[in-house]
Chains A and B, each alone.
Chain A
């Protein structure tokens, strides 16, 4: 049985600006099957792809989730190949000549056309010829509501032959799991008992993973994450240093380089270029306040999920709290969460960072799920 999801086709507004080849959707036979694990992130997306039946990965890319529509009147040759639509880094490089559109905001589709163009680009990365059957597992924010799910389904309609939508923090647990160690006696399998905190650009998703598929009660999604920190930081910078001219991109760079949580690290001198001149700004408290706002949002959710876990699982669960996503790079976030739990009387909690592959765990988990999915589990988006 194939689980069919009845979908209305997306509003037929052909994107005249798009230079992407149309994906063949006729009855012509597919030459091969490609499995795709896709993390559709608010700021960065990650796609992994490989063939069924082995563990090889033939495509592995992290792409800024951005679409650039080339502005009218740009002289021939300015944009490579005179493309009309650019994606990711290419769109960023050509920011002077394109209208940049972010397809996603707070983990959900913000611009339907841009989302669809971006997914079409992702498809072209894994199958340039457009002749393969694509089976994609796509991450969804924890507890994505019906509209959010519907929007992503619409964006994916016609681009992927078969799909599965799975909550991102669960995919992160699957991706983080070291399959070669699951039978080792002392290995704390994150799929068996863990609590994942996935701090992305748009949302912070927390999820209990305890050997069964997490229910809605096991997941909490908070619309406060990297972008919200950037916003707080920029507001604070504008207040302290009016007319500073720092773009959101530069503010994000400052956060990614200096972001921290916990006690003030003042003085924290940050060198920035404003109007072509180098300035040194003291941002210790400013950056600290913005980072600590995140802790104030996610810590109550963390306690809520710990309370919801079966009591005989909590001691082991406390040993396996894992922070992933871009937010895991904020200095001190593991130590601060662990200290707060300790101060609140939790038994020997241990908060760990997912590590250097934090951008890819969701996609790695998604590709594992794609490889493991049975034929009858794939869904077809119907027009």
Chain B
């Protein structure tokens, strides 16, 4: 959870402190060899990371939907799909193009592909 929130230093502290102590105790008591315990622990961590990441994605997807469906007067949840603290800086591009259409980008991509000789496609 801490990693998901970007609180890496707190996560490191937890990992190096309480978690390391608990893991050492587990190793001491386990019947399995230490590598097996470590491997098992690694799998648990991977699965937990995945579970938390999935929950975060779900929250991000639900937030805008709840915002649009909420009755007037109720503020939309303050959840953003992407972290963007620095994106609020006042600098803007010199010429601000209108919001772009993804399908137009795809048209441009396909046009580029058609224009490039087969042997040179996307070769740098």
Tell me the A residues contacting B by CB distance below 8 Å.
Answer: 3, 55-57, 60, 62, 89, 92-93, 140, 143-146, 149, 164, 166-167, 170, 174, 176-183, 185-189, 191-193, 211-213, 215-216, 219-221, 253, 257, 273, 276-278, 312-313, 315-317, 319-320, 331, 350, 352-357, 359-360, 368-369, 372-374, 377
Contacts and interface: CB of A to CB of B under 8 A. Distances in A.
Contact of B91 (A143, A188, A215, A220): A188
If over half of B's interface residues share one DSSP class (helix, strand or loop), that class is named, otherwise mixed; here it is helix
Nearest to A318: B91
Nearest to A166: B109
Contact of A216 (B8, B47, B56, B123): B123
Closest CB pairs A-B (n = 9): A213-B108, A355-B83, A372-B102, A143-B124, A316-B93, A193-B93, A211-B97, A213-B105, A213-B109
19 contacts: A3-B110, A56-B61, A89-B43, A145-B121, A146-B120, A149-B121, A177-B82, A178-B82, A178-B84, A180-B64, A186-B87, A212-B105, A312-B94, A316-B93, A352-B87, A354-B82, A356-B3, A357-B57, A369-B106
Nearest to A312: B94
A168 B109 CA distance: 13
Contacts of A179: 81
Interface residues of B, number: 61
Contact of B123 (A92, A145, A213, A276): A145
B122 A144 contact: yes
Which one of B43, B58, B108, B109 has the highest number of Cβ atoms from chain A below 10 Å of its Cβ? Answer: B109
Contacts of B106: 164, 166, 213, 369, 372-374, 377
A316 B8 CA distance: 29
Contact of B124 (A93, A212, A220): A220
B75 interface: no
B86 A178 contact: no
